[in-house]
Structure 1
Amino acid sequence: MSKLLNLIRFTNLNKWSVHLLTDNNLVFTDKYPTVYFKEFTKKGNIEKVKIEDNKTYKILGVRTYGLGVFLNREVLGSTLTMKTYQQVKKDHLFWCKVDTKNGGFGIVSDTLKDGLGSSNMAIAELDLSKINTDYLQLFFKSKRFNSYMDNLVVGTTNRKYIKFNDLLNDIKIPLPSLDIQNKIVKGYHDKLDLSVSQEQQAQEKEKKIEEYLYKELGIEISDINNTNLLNFVKFRNIERWDIQANSFNLNDIKSSYEFIKIKKLIKKSQYGLSEKANLNSNNTPMLRMNNIKNGQLDINDLKYIDLNNKKLENYILNKNDIVFNRTNSKELVGKCAVFNLFDTYTFASYLIRLKLDLELINPNYFAIILNSFIGRKQINAISRQITGQVNVNAEELKNFVIPFPNLNIQNMIVDYIQNINDEIKELKNQSLKNKTSALIEFEKEIFNEA
């Protein structure tokens, strides 16, 4: 049980703050000496710059959560209200003294050394013989540091004030030797480098899927630079009066297999529910356009709907149904996935449900092709922009074409690509794990166990 009274020596009362007096010595490991910032930070001789109307200036800002200093804007002097700014230098410590929260500190990089800070920004010089700037930036990025600072710094109107002397004299940091700091930073960057490498490997494998489809389906795409100045379309083939809708030409894509309109493979198409969803998880989950990601269903962000049994029966998704996103941004419209979940789900109006003839088509092959360059080319040609979003309706979708090998070859393609996707998923999981653990391991090194 915690003590009802916490006694503080009068000699330690340099600031009348309960947070500072009770929390400041509790969070750091005793593995390394803990020092005030003044041990390696000092007020520098900061040059003041008089703003001239006809010159261009780089005005710097600092991002929260330890993301550091950035170029906020590059503007003519005539547009600036303040007429005197501070000139920063490489490796300066930089923060907003009137609104410092959530790790809003940064170190000035070499690329930003010619930038300026307003009078609201505090600038300090660092003793680089004592502190590694990457180590310090990691400290600012740490969730434990942000929590620590939120406890220490209290301001009005949701602002948190850290003036120059407050940082130097009130805030502490574990300060191992420079060699150990370098080792800690290297361990962090090694983890990040591994994470980046794994993400790059995943991207290379994603490219292999497209390459495999080209090869397996015998795909050849004609050079668009050799197109004629005039493009003739037969009158009987005109279904919509716009250039984009008639720009897709099947002759642009050749395959070893026959192209078939997908309406010959569909038993039923259906738009989703337009009723408003809610957050009550006791109701039936409803898939929306944001639940389709990278050709898979993502149920991390669900909404729900309360339906009577009769209506629910008409809109329950069944295994092997295709859910197609008919309305979204230009980049995301047309994404689709196979429904393969076990629980009861329904779907929203921005989605189309397709029931396929499973004797003719493997639904996973169907989704792979529609999500590939073959489907994308047709979606880009047919999609229409409505109030900022792009739309593909069910009738247009039915007229899309896909290469149509027999079921055995479809199944072989699906199995091969599924194996690659499993490898991609594992690489991305490992990448995320290493990226997350890099900061966690840094925190474990300098903070007490939570």
Structure 2
Amino acid sequence: MARIGDFLTRNKTAIVIEDDVYYKRATIKIRNGGVFLRDSEIGSKIGTKNQFVISKGQFLLSKIDARNGAFGVVPEVLDGGIITGNFWTFDVDYSKVNPYYLTLLSTTKEFVAFCEQASNGTTNRHYLQEPLFLDIKVPLPSLPEQNKLVEEYNTLKRSINMEEIRIAEAYSSMQQNVLKELGIEPAPKSRSLERLQFLQFKNLHAWSVELILHANNSPFGQSQYNCKVLSQLAFINPKTDLSNLKDRDEMSFIPMADISNLYGEWVNHKVGHKSDSKGYTKFQDRDIIWARITPCMQNGKSTIVHNMKNGVGYGSTEFHVIRIKSEEVLPQYIHTLLRHDSVLFDAVKYFTGSAGQQRVPASYLANLIIPIPPLSIQAQIADHYHSAIENSKHTNARIFKYKDDIIKDFEAQIFEY
């Protein structure tokens, strides 16, 4: 066991921010997320003029989030960067400690407990106390043993990274397969809408500037199947009849947070009452709820709701509701298309509202051009999509276990469980 103060020395190299100089600013992610370049900002836009300089290889921590594992080693890109007084930087005695070993140590529950004991303040603003932090005693194996532990960790980490790459590749393949099964050629590059354009009258089902621009601008490109706009196949934001329920009758409650952006599923099932639903979006079993606000929309927050209490539910006002009315399409197929990157990227062009509060209007969905293959093809597309999602779940569960095992193995070796 060794005192942290035996191998870390606080560095307080001060700097006064000059208005005409650009500065690199650091940020630290909690739970051993690492140290990163936050941004590069000109001095005139930096309010706190008295700051501190950091150097490559130093050990950096947040005195507010130390108990949440906000530690890390300063990377080369941040050499010469700046930090405020809410961050501390330490010179490392490399003859005694590998700073990456110390970063790993900071992820253990024992180290977090140490930092909690060395902090004081209100519940949400616990500040690490430097003398107490430097006096913490931690396991300090020999330097070769530290290096060995770090290399073992990095080896496992590389395996995790490979799994994550496979997930990304599988997702990309899933996206391409949807288009392939629809017989869709790659979408043409977006064309300027400032020039004169022509379209066939038969492709119009209504008359307005927005609809005319939309008519020849399917996000999917040209399909071998006939197409219709979504409003011909489904109701967009229909009313949901609750007249058969009493005020204390149960309904499902689905806030935005309970829609998985990874898998397009409803999780953490909650229950409310009809009397609680006033002011919320209402929906019924088999409806598709689709996030309309940024960034939830781009993240793919949407799902088909089913098995709700009394067959109905209520949730965020930031949902659009799509209720299938045509026997030509399956809800699972429509949901697959609505989660496709082609739609999520295209919808951004139709955002309304101010920055940070931008939303996709209902008219975008109403006029979205949908290819309509035979029901058997639709089912096949939806099944392949569902299978890919299930594979992704299993891989993510394996990654989560890997990460958990890494820390447990490290703790077992260091704290001799």
1:428 to 1:378, Cα distance in 2 relative to 1, 3 A:
same
Verify the 8 A CA contact 1:36 1:172 in the aligned structure 2: yes
Find the residue that maps to 1:141 and give its secondary structure: coil
- Asked if 1:445 is matched to 2:398, the reply is no
Kindly provide the amino acid, as one letter, of the partner of residue 371 in structure 1.
R
Q: Residue 107 of structure 1: which of 73, 84, 99 is its match?
A: 73
- Other-structure match for 2:108: 142
- Other-structure match for 1:338: 304
- Other-structure match for 2:245: none
Q: CA deviation at 1:40?
A: 2.8
TM-score of the pair, normalised by structure 2: 0.76
Share of identical aligned residues, percent?
A: 23
- Other-structure match for 1:371: 339
Q: CA deviation at 1:426?
A: 1.4
Kindly provide the amino acid, as one letter, of the partner of residue 171 in structure 1.
I
Verify the 8 A CA contact 2:289 2:304 in the aligned structure 1: no
Q: Residue 288 of structure 2: which of 323, 335, 338 is its match?
A: 323
Deviates more, 1:399-408 or 1:59-68: 59-68
> Structure 2 CA distance, aligned partners of 1:263 and 1:102?
48
Aligned residues: 399
> Structure 1 CA distance, aligned partners of 2:331 and 2:188?
31
Kindly provide the amino acid, as one letter, of the partner of residue 227 in structure 2.
F
Q: Residue 257 of structure 1: which of 214, 225, 238 is its match?
A: 225
- Other-structure match for 1:224: 189
Kindly provide the amino acid, as one letter, of the partner of residue 306 in structure 1.
H
Question: Aligned Cα RMSD in Å?
Answer: 4.3
Q: Residue 285 of structure 1: which of 225, 244, 252 is its match?
A: 252
Describe how 1:41-80 pairs up with structure 2 within 5 A. Answer: 41-42=8-9, 55-58=21-24, 65-67=31-33, 69-71=35-37, 74-76=41-43
- Other-structure match for 1:187: 152
- Other-structure match for 1:390: 359
Q: CA deviation at 1:100?
A: 6.0
1:110 to 1:66, Cα distance in 2 relative to 1, 3 A:
same
> Structure 2 CA distance, aligned partners of 1:182 and 1:38?
20
> Structure 2 CA distance, aligned partners of 1:96 and 1:378?
40
Kindly provide the amino acid, as one letter, of the partner of residue 111 in structure 1.
V
Structure 2 residue runs of 5 or longer lacking an equivalent are: 243-247
Q: CA deviation at 1:38?
A: 4.0
Q: CA deviation at 1:136?
A: 0.5
Q: Residue 130 of structure 1: which of 86, 96, 119 is its match?
A: 96
Kindly provide the amino acid, as one letter, of the partner of residue 217 in structure 1.
L
> Structure 2 CA distance, aligned partners of 1:374 and 1:55?
41
Larger Rg: 1
Kindly provide the amino acid, as one letter, of the partner of residue 97 in structure 2.
I
> Structure 2 CA distance, aligned partners of 1:424 and 1:187?
26
1:392 to 1:272, Cα distance in 2 relative to 1, 3 A:
farther
> Structure 2 CA distance, aligned partners of 1:184 and 1:264?
61
- Other-structure match for 1:40: 7
- Other-structure match for 1:175: 140
> Structure 1 CA distance, aligned partners of 2:155 and 2:293?
39
Find the residue that maps to 1:434 and give its secondary structure: helix
Q: CA deviation at 1:210?
A: 2.1
> Structure 2 CA distance, aligned partners of 1:324 and 1:78?
41
1:231 to 1:436, Cα distance in 2 relative to 1, 3 A:
farther
Q: CA deviation at 1:258?
A: 1.3
> Structure 2 CA distance, aligned partners of 1:201 and 1:135?
28
Describe how 1:377-416 pairs up with structure 2 within 5 A. Answer: 379-380=347-348, 384-385=352-353, 388-393=357-362, 397-416=365-384
- Other-structure match for 2:170: 205
Find the residue that maps to 2:238 and give its secondary structure: strand
1:283 to 1:224, Cα distance in 2 relative to 1, 3 A:
same
Verify the 8 A CA contact 2:64 2:86 in the aligned structure 1: yes
